[in-house]
Structure 1
């Protein structure tokens, strides 16, 4: 009777952002034991592998060939071989290649195991000095100014701390565009995390922009952290009445108007409904 061998495992392995000492023991072992390493840039990753004496063979898997290479890698996994996916730095798939491969592996019921480690967004957030209870990772914003502006507009009411990746060439342009849209909020820029010229700039968006504009050149990949939108002021009885009166000419029924205001102001519908009735009764008497 023919037996079917189980598929191999796809390991998603986080690697150092810059400092090679940030590699975990488990990550080293997995890379040594894997049958194949799929690397974003095999030439760049060779330095890491040589440092830890890892002799596992590599194959390139980057944004330009990922769709094609995924087919080949899936067949390798289905044949029972284990593959470790790494990016140039940090955790694969987080603004790095790998999504197509992981999606295909999940579709074929191939085991996918994360090997946790470095991530620039989380590392920077931990020292940014901004709220960490809720955050939104936005990755790289569109390069074109109009699309970037529309994206920022869609984020300006977001209460969570915002996290952006940006290149040193465009970081000042991002700050210049963010200030009029988001306001001059508290922020932090993390630059060259874990590397020799590691730096953290804290202050308002305007203060950080002034600091960077004084430099002849900004170097190193940047992570920008921006404080989320402030909560709206509490809705007092007086403000609620003013809002209801301003909408009285919309010719909406009491229930419809109450539903709309309750949803917009995050108030109990009954409270709004009763206030509308009271105001309408007092105006008709």
Structure 2
């Protein structure tokens, strides 16, 4: 196998979600850099892979980056994994990628499990445009800016949260945007996967009544709907009257009035051919 760093996404819950290619690369790696060896060894043992595990996390990034660069220059096959999901997305990995680009050293990113995209589809909320915002801020100043940023976002937003802070997070969001639709996904892809949908106020109240909350959480939040109201059907008729096809009219109305394409498309279905 060619000497390079392979960035490998690992299952976010169900171990069967690992790809055949990921297993192949892990078996062939001289060194597997991992966020927490205690978690990675469980994955390797499950698939009977013997690997040379070396820790790589936010507290030793600088020293490990130099080591990784030297190992690549000496011709080694390296893998980088996080505890779950794609390395570099709210997990260590971004620093090494930047350094490899700077040093013109080879790396490859394998496709695989993603909590962000999986939760987005599960939510049932609009997915033609979305933003991943990472973990909900802990500090008040950062949190205020975060909430201010959410006020005018029209696209769906995806937020991560831990079990220790999920109630506080939902409370703050509910106080600010009580009527916005939300889906909170817990223990995704695992046996006890749970999806709670409703307005933020409704979902927060449901979580207040839950006992022994466990797991990791992804919050998928509806975008702001506080924008000028348009009669989309009439707008489509105007564009079609100019000689545009229905398909081109949908595209033009979406662009001109900053409307979701899916929303305009649904309105177009009501028009007679």
One of 155, 159, 165 as aligned partner of 2:150: 155
Q: 5 Å matches for 1:20-169?
A: 20-169=15-164
User: Are the aligned partners of 2:5 and 2:106 in contact in 1 as well (CA < 8 Å)?
Assistant: yes
CA distance in structure 1 between the aligned counterparts of 2:18 and 2:79, rounded to whole angstroms? 14
Give 3-state SS (helix, strand or coil) of 1:143's partner: coil
CA distance in structure 2 between the aligned counterparts of 1:128 and 1:13, rounded to whole angstroms? 26
Give 3-state SS (helix, strand or coil) of 2:122's partner: coil
User: Are the aligned partners of 2:178 and 2:199 in contact in 1 as well (CA < 8 Å)?
Assistant: no
Corresponding residue of 2:218: 223
User: Are the aligned partners of 1:8 and 1:110 in contact in 2 as well (CA < 8 Å)?
Assistant: no
User: Are the aligned partners of 2:178 and 2:201 in contact in 1 as well (CA < 8 Å)?
Assistant: no
Backbone CA RMSD of aligned residues: 1.8
Give 3-state SS (helix, strand or coil) of 1:150's partner: helix
- Count of residues in Structure 1 that have an aligned counterpart in Structure 2: 232
How far did residue 212 of structure 1 move? 0.5
One of 179, 182, 185 as aligned partner of 1:184: 179
Mean Cα deviation higher: 172-181 or 110-119: 172-181
Superposition TM-score, scaled by structure 2 size: 0.81
Higher Rg: 1
User: Are the aligned partners of 2:8 and 2:81 in contact in 1 as well (CA < 8 Å)?
Assistant: yes
Superposition TM-score, scaled by structure 1 size: 0.78
User: Are the aligned partners of 1:95 and 1:140 in contact in 2 as well (CA < 8 Å)?
Assistant: yes
List alignment gaps of at least 5 residues for structure 1: 1-6, 237-265, 268-285
